[in-house]
Amino acid sequence: MTNTVRATFGGKFGVLMATLGTAVGLGNIWRFPYMCGAHGGGAFLLVFILCVLLLGLPVMITEFFIGRHSQRNVTGAFDVLAPGTRWNLIGYNGVITSFLILGFYTVVSGWTLDYMLQSVLYSFENKTAEEFASEFAVFSSGIVRPLFWTLMVILITQFVIISGVKKGIERSAKILMPLLFVFLLLLAIRSITLSNAGVGFRYLFEPDFGKIDSAAILSAMGQAFFSLSIGMGCLITYSSYFGKNTNMQETAFQVNIISIFVAILAGIMVFPAAFSFGIQPTAGAELVFITLPNVFGQLPWGNLWAFIFYALLAVAAITSVISLHEVVTLYLHEEHHITRKKAANYVSLAVLLLASISSLSLGVLKEYTLFGLTFFNFLDYITAKIMLPVGGMMTCIFVGYRIEKKILKAELTNEGTIPFYFFNTYAFFIKYIAPVAIALILFYEIGLVNLIMKLF
């Protein structure tokens, strides 16, 4: 590619907001409370925090290294660091994974927009839990409404992407992310002041160590990877826009801490509310689209709270959609020499097609299954449970075994101008600890660990 000057994010604040934009999403606010609910509350929270700090942090720093050092898209980055080798397959895995995640993530993002509008148009009061449940089932299995909102999500994303790295991605993140934190705090305060908040608190913060089994540990690790957007080069892409003076250790640390904080706030918001109304912390889609409307319906100013909640979820989701879209757009733009706008158009069109099929697979296309899963669930399964762990593991192996420590250290210390006190620990982690841990997640999730356990 003819090297025109590459875009970079403006300053420290822009870098942090953009990175938080990708990390904080449906994973933190919708998936975390449900995973936490499924694995015993406080115990899960504890293991999740350990996973974020011990695995998420080093892997994130590693992706930052690859991105900023190469200043390339997700496949080009590997061609720069290891020319003429097949290591760039890690990048291709990333491009495909992004695209496939977009196939279901945009659909769920669309649901948040629909519920946002519903909270303006219809009263949530005087409805039973069953009514909320059946309304959600009818809506999500329908044709026009979900497809319309998926299209809206893609159009908003398209608009931000073609506005450019600085004027689109960075600027939208700088406006939307602070807004998200204000909404989140408001909701958390509302939740804390509910009559039965204590039960929810105890559930979230009192670890029951008996509940920490291998399933909880491995699920917490998976949640950490999904929630931090690691494993497929999303952060390679974003860090390729970091300036040479960006402190990547600090950025990674801040993003990790804030991501944990958001997940805890989401827990604080969801559990006391659920317990206050005698609702169990149930499965993912249910919790956010059925249980919470039920909760909101029973609160004074319920529709206002519902609106704030779904707006928050929409913002979190769309900034993450943008990051996934950018991975594929930048790849096409740099590797296939087409304009950014054209690349974005192709990606949006392809995502629209994929997302439509996955949305319809919850309704009219329900009969067409792959390995026993609807297309929607299939996309979720192969990306989160197989492709992300493989990508994350390979990324660590690549940097751990292929990159000279001197080069790694120079990049991460901005050529020696900032210290990296735990560099050797970090290098040890990515070479030995992280790949093994990720391999365990992978084996566990595709059922190999169970198989091996049975053999002994």
Please give the residue ranges that form the binding site for ligand TRP (CB under 6 A): 22-23, 25-28, 226-227, 229, 231-232, 234, 320, 323-324, 388
Shortest Cβ distance from residue 298 to ligand TRP (Å)? Answer: 28
Shortest Cβ distance from residue 233 to ligand TRP (Å)? Answer: 8
Nearer to ligand TRP, 26 or 90 (CB): 26
Nearer to ligand TRP, 219 or 323 (CB): 323
**Residue whose structure tokens are 């909404």:** 183
The rounded distance, in Å, linking the Cα atoms of 296 and 274 is: 10
The rounded distance, in Å, linking the Cα atoms of 436 and 433 is: 6
Nearer to ligand TRP, 320 or 358 (CB): 320
Nearer to ligand TRP, 88 or 320 (CB): 320
Nearer to ligand TRP, 362 or 388 (CB): 388
Nearer to ligand TRP, 388 or 412 (CB): 388
Distance of CA 446 to the CA centre of its chain: 21
Count of beta carbons in the 10 Å neighbourhood of residue 134: 12
Shortest Cβ distance from residue 322 to ligand TRP (Å)? Answer: 9
Alpha helices in 361-429 (DSSP H): 375-380, 388-402, 405-412, 423-428
Spatial contact of 90 and 344, defined as CB atoms under 8 Å apart = no
Count of beta carbons in the 10 Å neighbourhood of residue 421: 8
**Residue whose structure tokens are 């790849």:** 331
Shortest Cβ distance from residue 88 to ligand TRP (Å)? Answer: 18
What Rg do the C-alpha atoms of the chain give, in angstroms?
21
* 161's tokens: 């992407």
Shortest Cβ distance from residue 228 to ligand TRP (Å)? Answer: 6
Nearer to ligand TRP, 427 or 434 (CB): 434
Contacts of 358 (CB under 8 A, 6+ apart): 103, 104, 107, 375, 376, 379
Phi-psi region of 185 (alpha: psi -120 to 50; beta: other; left: phi over 0): alpha
Shortest Cβ distance from residue 112 to ligand TRP (Å)? Answer: 12
Shortest Cβ distance from residue 282 to ligand TRP (Å)? Answer: 19
CA angle 18, 379, 149 (to 5 degrees): 65
